[in-house]
Structure 1
Amino acid sequence: MSNDKLAAASLGFPRIGARRELKFALESYWAGTSGAASLADTAEHLRRRNWLTQQEKGITVIPSNDFSLYDHVLDTAVMVGAIPEGYGWDGGAVSLETYFALARGGEIADCGHSHGETRALEMTKWFDTNYHYLVPELTEGQSFTLTGLKPLEHYLEAKALGIETRPVILGPVTFLKLAKARQGDFSPLSLLEGLLPVYADLLAQLKAAGAEWVQIDEPALVLDLTDEERAAFARAYAVLAQAAPKIMLASYFAAPEDNLDTLLSLPVAGIHVDLKRGTLSGILENAPADLVLSLGVIDGRNVWRADLSAIIDRLAPLVAARGANKIQIAPSCSLLHVPIDVDLETGLDPELKSWLAFANQKLDELATLATGLALGKGAVAKALGEADAAIAGRAASKRVHNEDVAARLAAVTEADRRRGKAFAERVALQHERLNLPAFPTTTIGSFPQTVGVRKARAAFNKGALDGAAYRTFLEQETATAIAFQEEIGLDVLVHGEFERNDMVQYFGEQLSGFAFTRHGWVQSYGSRYVRPPIIFGDVAREAPMTVDWWRFAQSKTEKPVKGMLTGPVTILNWSFVRDDIARAETCAQIALAIRDEVKDLETAGAKIIQIDEAALREGLPLRRSGWKAYLDWAVNAFRLTASGVADETQIHTHMCYSEFNDIIEAIAAMDADVISIETSRSKMELLDAFTGFDYPNEIGPGVYDIHSPRIPTTGEMTDLLTLARERLTDRKLWVNPDCGLKTRGWDEVKPALVHMVEAARALRG
């Protein structure tokens, strides 16, 4: 083993705080109960704690500027002056008011003058993760300017604590690849030459301040790129390398594959590669001898403990051949995508807990690997022994495998994945049975999870509210929601989901093979955090999960109430999934469990059952070469879930914040009778995929952006529906919000839904 220094590098750390401090500070600021100074203090405290934690854990390459109040892509857009008109920005420093208006919409005012209501920027998934970023909007001929120096400020903030950091910046090519043209038909990448001087200015200032390295994230390097896009990387880094400190160019989420030659040709001092979703093939043979290789060997997107002994055995020859000073041991990507600390999970089963590693534990793993590779396994024998025992215990545990589940899955046939009649025949039967008006109105499923609902749930979980009293409370909330929907004239109702903590967790808690944390929060967007379930074993349903609540809600109305379920692909993609069997197999297990629930709802009398697949697209491989295999098993899982019902039973599905053009055939193959999608922020642009393909089934394009606090007017919704009618025949068109309403308040939801019903009635008139 080499005695040279071998670095343990972190690419980014969760921003939210172990106790969700950022969430509460943001929401207090938005509510007006605290000011900007208080928010800034919380943010500074979190950054300091993150830096010190990483330093104490033995991380030798610590990132800065990985912290964001809302989203790092938005931070970049604001920093380079990519701010559309109408947000009250005059070209100087960007105010918090403008920043959050871009993120959330709302009213902009300065110096007593209102700029009126603004819409939030469009939101979509960050590559194939469940993190959402805000899509920068650019205009042809866009000019850029450096509006602030956040990366420099955070670097100097850490330096004042005595911590040398490596600033993290989203690369210019990836930034432009993620952006959209606001007006006109042009490629945002055509703006690269105008953007580069702004980046060069920032990098030069970092260098002047003493930064030895800078991490520039270019995850676009793992996508299918054109020759023009590859050439853009060459042009960009020819400019930036002259101004910057040493550049660690980071790619992640997949292997560079045919972009590897481009990556290795760039004038940078180091490259990072994701070895959990890629390999070293071609890199070792072709990398220049002086290029530092950052090896992403610890999974930054899952929670399982790493096999440290195997990793050391695998990498030791490489370290010996290349030299420890040319290797960095790193996570596959930023640790943004995992919870912070498994030690907080005092109520978690000890055996299962021993199999897990969250962000803090992954830092320990990185430090162990760096030491073990530099000094030999003997230097870290205790840590390796503990890891070996955990790995072996998980592999041998009898709680992981269920023979009955395996036998049932093996017996599935193609007939189990097909409805009885084609849609063209089913739809007439469904229309006759349901007798709905043109432009039928509905919502996606959930209603506001108010402070009262959350308090009652917390009291029940703590034992302060008994089961009978909690049930009575939930029944009252459900009955009130049904009465409200009837009062405003919605056509298809929902029960509101007040009994559900989360659309995935609620089901996972009633399925075998799932485990749950109390503090395992990860950021979805802004202040919206989720606690993904952990799928550790074979999945099965032990009893009906939703039938009782559906039956109660339906007893309160003559109008149809939808049965509301989360689909198998979404449950899979929004969970931390076991890594000892194929994801497709786990998904099929979940599909069989949800299929049982669908059939029980139908038997109970449900005429409409919605199976949400909000996350179907986010599981799509980043390279087209992998799409078919994924879509085949994902669509099969949905069809297995939905195809056990009669033709008269209407199956809905919902997908949010996804581009559909390139997977429209797979969506059609799902054969849902009605699909509802997000379209309000894109002004119905997402419908073009469905109309260009001539999608045969019915569609509910969202007309109410539920991720913004602003209340759309009847006229705005009517205008959106008018745009939808240009793309769809009237009989295909449903009217609904973009997504569920649990994160909004009743004071926003009630008038917005009244306006939505008014818009539908105006079209009928």
Structure 2
Amino acid sequence: MTGHRTEGVDTREQFRPEGHDTDHFILTSVVGSYPKPKWLNRADDLVSDPDSKFTEEHLHEAHDDACRVIVDEHERAGLDTVVDGEMRRNEMVEFFAHRIDGYEFHGPVKVWGHNYFDKPSVVEEVEYDEPWLVDEFEFTRDAASKPVKVPITGPYTLASWSFNEAYESEAELAYDLADLVNTEVEKLVEAGARYVQIDEPALATTPDDHAIVGECLERIVADIDPEVRIGLHVCYGDYSRIYPEVNDFPIDEFDVELCNGGFEQIDVFTDPEFEPDLALGVVDAHTAEVESVEEIKQNILQGLKVVPPEKLTISPDCGLKLLPREIAYGKMENMVKATREVEAELDAGDIDLADPLPTA
């Protein structure tokens, strides 16, 4: 692995809003998923009801409307980069498996409690057929006035959370999937995407495979325009088992979940020096209460223990889709307010980065 893919290239300044109020700029974003409007869930049910007159065409229109609503919600909250909340996606592996030749579905698998996952099987060599996300991105881009980030499930998770019936090893499957993801990212970039986030939650459960993830990332970013920002999101794990190896990943930004754990792991990233930008979750995606602006400001300071402001991105811990929608919006709105206040205090010298920052 070669480490940084964009030495000397600043991929984040392009997302600074015109006329930004402060000299300091801390990028704000969301991880990806967002609560769906209740009427969209109803539309999903109706289209599968044989007694309903609701058609696939009607559902497509409902998805379009939901995307417009959520993009507007993200922009009203003040985010610097927005997504459509993954309104068209059902589940992060299933959605892509339906679009990759070589996958088949044999029915839901019980994963915990009373929860079921439609776990796919790889029954033959995977191949790229039609674009997965280009239409989704182009619609969102046209609906938004802010830059759009594209989350995409990573090849390691696509391999790990599937039954492998065709490859000698899961690693070989992951590498082939990485080549397909590379093709998709190339098509997204051709369509105008400038911010792509690779989601690899499976790494948190099998951290010893960080070298496989690193090789997958090398394949994904091969020949991708260095101006395009590549992020990696890994949630809910023991980060000490993949750090400092993360420093060797060819990424611009590493997105971590620490708020849910009270930032107990923040010091993991302080020695040796953290090299990519840090995307820090500062609101908890698992609690249905809106953190105060002051509390979020203290959480942002935790990130400044690891990287300077110009290398810090602020986001929720993870996708927000399981929260009540008004709670998700409140978290985003306060997150942006807190970030802008921290920027202003940095400009005014009220926050001295040379002073010891508060402990978690």
What TM-score, normalized to structure 2? 0.87
Counterpart residue type for residue 456 of structure 1: A
Partner of 1:424: 7
1:707 pairs, out of 286, 310, 321, with: 286
Counterpart residue type for residue 482 of structure 1: V
Partner of 2:40: 453
Whether the 8 Å CA contact 2:121–2:163 is kept in 1: the answer is: yes
Partner of 1:504: 93
Distance 1:500 1:681, change over 3 A: same
Shift of 1:709: 1.8
Shift of 1:418: 6.5
Partner of 2:58: 469
Partner of 1:433: 14
Partner of 1:577: 164
Counterpart residue type for residue 7 of structure 2: A
Bigger-Rg structure (1/2):
1
Shift of 1:576: 2.4
Could you say what secondary structure the match of 1:425 adopts? coil
Q: Count residues in correspondence.
A: 336
Shift of 1:480: 0.7
Q: In structure 2, what is the Cα distance between the partners aligned to 1:663 and 1:549?
A: 32
Whether the 8 Å CA contact 1:687–1:701 is kept in 2: the answer is: no
Partner of 1:717: 296
Q: In structure 2, what is the Cα distance between the partners aligned to 1:600 and 1:481?
A: 24
1:179-218 equivalent positions in 2, closer than 5 A: none
Q: In structure 1, what is the Cα distance between the partners aligned to 2:45 and 2:301?
A: 44
Counterpart residue type for residue 704 of structure 1: V
Whether the 8 Å CA contact 1:702–1:736 is kept in 2: the answer is: yes
Q: What do residues 14-53 of structure 1 show as CA deviations (whole Å, max 9, x unaligned)?
A: xxxxxxxxxxxxxxxxxxxxxxxxxxxxxxxxxxxxxxxx
Shift of 1:518: 4.1
- 1:748 matched to 2:335? The reply is no
Whether the 8 Å CA contact 1:442–1:735 is kept in 2: the answer is: yes
Could you say what secondary structure the match of 2:102 adopts? strand
Partner of 1:553: 140
1:50-69 equivalent positions in 2, closer than 5 A: none
Q: Give the gaps of 5 or more residues in structure 2.
A: 345-360
Could you say what secondary structure the match of 2:290 adopts? coil
Q: In structure 2, what is the Cα distance between the partners aligned to 1:454 and 1:720?
A: 34
Could you say what secondary structure the match of 2:60 adopts? helix
Q: In structure 1, what is the Cα distance between the partners aligned to 2:235 and 2:32?
A: 13
Counterpart residue type for residue 15 of structure 2: L
1:613 pairs, out of 178, 200, 221, with: 200
Could you say what secondary structure the match of 2:163 adopts? coil
Q: In structure 2, what is the Cα distance between the partners aligned to 1:530 and 1:744?
A: 20
Q: In structure 2, what is the Cα distance between the partners aligned to 1:709 and 1:456?
A: 25
Counterpart residue type for residue 651 of structure 1: I
Whether the 8 Å CA contact 2:204–2:236 is kept in 1: the answer is: no
Partner of 1:494: 83
Counterpart residue type for residue 730 of structure 1: P
Shift of 1:753: 1.1
Distance 1:467 1:582, change over 3 A: same
Shift of 1:454: 2.4
Shift of 1:605: 0.3
Shift of 1:422: 4.3
Whether the 8 Å CA contact 2:270–2:305 is kept in 1: the answer is: no
Q: In structure 2, what is the Cα distance between the partners aligned to 1:426 and 1:646?
A: 11
- 1:642 matched to 2:221? The reply is yes
1:253-402 equivalent positions in 2, closer than 5 A: none
Shift of 1:529: 4.6
Q: In structure 2, what is the Cα distance between the partners aligned to 1:671 and 1:527?
A: 39
Q: In structure 1, what is the Cα distance between the partners aligned to 2:250 and 2:106?
A: 35
Q: Give the gaps of 5 or more residues in structure 1.
A: 1-416, 621-626
Could you say what secondary structure the match of 1:693 adopts? coil
- 1:482 matched to 2:65? The reply is no
Whether the 8 Å CA contact 1:607–1:649 is kept in 2: the answer is: yes
Partner of 1:181: none
Whether the 8 Å CA contact 1:423–1:697 is kept in 2: the answer is: no
Shift of 1:527: 6.6
Percent of residue pairs bearing the same amino acid type: 25
Could you say what secondary structure the match of 1:500 adopts? coil
Shift of 1:691: 1.8
Distance 1:454 1:608, change over 3 A: same
1:653 pairs, out of 229, 232, 236, with: 232
Could you say what secondary structure the match of 2:301 adopts? helix
1:513 pairs, out of 96, 99, 102, with: 102
Q: What do residues 588-618 of structure 1 show as CA deviations (whole Å, max 9, x unaligned)?
A: 1111111111000000001111111121232
Counterpart residue type for residue 104 of structure 2: A
- 1:671 matched to 2:274? The reply is no
Could you say what secondary structure the match of 1:735 adopts? strand
Q: In structure 2, what is the Cα distance between the partners aligned to 1:460 and 1:521?
A: 25
Partner of 2:151: 564
Shift of 1:636: 0.4
Q: In structure 2, what is the Cα distance between the partners aligned to 1:530 and 1:712?
A: 31
- 1:537 matched to 2:124? The reply is yes
Shift of 1:517: 4.2
Partner of 2:358: none
Could you say what secondary structure the match of 1:667 adopts? helix
Q: In structure 2, what is the Cα distance between the partners aligned to 1:653 and 1:633?
A: 14
Q: In structure 1, what is the Cα distance between the partners aligned to 2:161 and 2:27?
A: 30
| Higher-helix-fraction structure | 1
Could you say what secondary structure the match of 1:468 adopts? helix
Whether the 8 Å CA contact 1:717–1:759 is kept in 2: the answer is: yes
Q: What do residues 680-720 of structure 1 show as CA deviations (whole Å, max 9, x unaligned)?
A: 02222322222212111111111111122222221211111
Shift of 1:440: 1.2
Whether the 8 Å CA contact 1:569–1:615 is kept in 2: the answer is: yes
Partner of 2:348: none
2:180 pairs, out of 551, 569, 593, with: 593
Shift of 1:503: 0.8
Counterpart residue type for residue 594 of structure 1: V
Q: What do residues 319-364 of structure 1 show as CA deviations (whole Å, max 9, x unaligned)?
A: xxxxxxxxxxxxxxxxxxxxxxxxxxxxxxxxxxxxxxxxxxxxxx
**Stretches of 4+ aligned residues off by more than 6 angstroms:** none
Partner of 1:266: none
Shift of 1:738: 0.5
2:318 pairs, out of 739, 742, 745, with: 739
RMSD: 2.1
